[in-house]
Structure 1
Amino acid sequence: MLALLVLRVNQIVSLDTVMEELWGTQPPRSAVTTAQTYIYQLRKIFVRELGPSGGDLIETSAPGYLLRVDESRRSTSPG
């Protein structure tokens, strides 16, 4: 889940995309609930590691989720 969000930072990743990437063409019945749980757990980790504002990094935005990272916080590769 985190990799999907990082690969598409500041872009909405649809729930359909999440399910296809994680489970392929035959997701389990619990796929939606499991994806929501993954997001919940990521938010908890971000809060624990970054403080209360860490929970705001992942937004629920129809039709999925968005990892919001301010351009000033993004690191660049050493040149």
Structure 2
Amino acid sequence: MTTNTTNVAVPVAQAQSPSDLANTFGPTLFGTELRVFLLVFTLIVTWGLAIATWGYPALIIVALCLVPVMFTVLLLITVGK
């Protein structure tokens, strides 16, 4: 008989350090969707702060960096992948 022990939670009284609790409850509290949202939110806020600090150069540099990305996306769409 086999048992699945991958989702067994460590009780708070048995936890040796805060990292034990983070490793146990982290994946359940912070799912993939939340991590992606936080990444996108952080990038947008960072870009906004860069625009507020340096003005148009920060806006234009990001747009110029996205040109090859969009060119690749359009090529992939055209090829059908």
TM-score range, shorter chain: 0.3 to 0.5
Structure 1 length normalisation: TM-score?
0.36
The structure in which a higher percent of residues are strand is 1
Structure with bigger RCO (C-alpha 8 Å, 6+ apart): 1
Whichever structure has more helix as a proportion of its residues is 2
TM-score scaled by length of structure 2 = 0.35
